Amino acid sequence: MRKIRAVFRVLFQDNLNYRAQAVVWIMTSIIPTVTIAAVWLASYGKSTTLGGFAKSDMIMYFVGSLVITNIISSSISFDMGNEIKQGRLSFYLVRPLSYPVYQFLANLGWRVFRTMMFLPFLPLIWLALYRELNFSATNLGWQFWFAIIIAHLLSFAMSFFVGSWALFLEDMSSIDQIYSLSSFLLSGSIAPIALMPKGLQAIADWSPFRYVLSFPLEILTEHSSMVGLNFVISLSWLILFVSSGLLLFNFGLRRYSAIGQ
């Protein structure tokens, strides 16, 4: 446990060198989310609801999406691909912590740092939207926070699973693009899943991407149903990707050879 705390502290302090980069990444998440939200709000016209979502629900949905994405989203597959391709994975294999644990701590440190950098933007969002937000129709109870924890772990496990394929493939760019596009379409980033076309909605409902973003937002905006069943499904996806990612990574290590620097 002492080693974990020491490594996490070092990794977190290392993030302080990337303050400008963090701001850029935050802006790249704010601008698309605000744009998509504006398009959906414009689609209301004179109507007060759209697919069971009042305007205040829709605003809360996308504000929540913005906050949750900064807290839980993981994209380590790209970094893993580069480290494996360039031969830097060898350096981690002789360190006191295993590579999966090191990656988890690095991702957690970056998420904590990025959340701290995101906090100053919240008052600006509040000033711009406080008249439209309806906090009385939100659920910030234990179910929401439990869903957030699962979402963070599942996002990491899925990204680690994707990144582990770099041990077998020369080029990871196409897999990363497919993964990113699938996440964007099926997680609820562009729209609440309930408002998607029926075919896409059926796919999204049973995909793991739903539990990375949409499910916590459904609880937050009180548009969730069968919460207990969805927790079972999300935990099942988590167990599947953790076990599959570790098996794939450990199997890949047997044939790994450092070809980089």
The H or E element containing residue 53 is strand 53-54
* CA pair distance 237, 154, nearest whole angstrom: 7
**Which residues fall within 8 angstroms of residue 162, CB to CB, at 6 or more apart?**
77, 175, 176, 179
pLDDT of 92 > 80? The answer is no
**Token digits for 21?**
């980069």
**pLDDT tens digits, one per residue of 18-71:** 677 767 777 777 777 777 777 777 777 777 787 777 777 888 888 888 888 888
Q: Which of these, 109, 143, 117, lies nearest to 223 by C-alpha position?
A: 143
Supply φ then ψ for residue 118, to 5 degrees: -80, -25
- How long, in residues, is the chain? 261
What pTM was estimated for this model as a whole?
Answer: 0.86
* Residue boundaries of the structural domains of the chain: 2-254
* CA pair distance 245, 165, nearest whole angstrom: 9
Q: Which of these, 91, 78, 88, 105, lies nearest to 12 by C-alpha position?
A: 105
**pLDDT tens digits, one per residue of 115-169:** 888 888 777 777 777 676 766 667 888 999 999 999 999 999 999 999 999 888 8
Task: Please give the residue that has the higher pLDDT: either 42 or 179.
Answer: 179
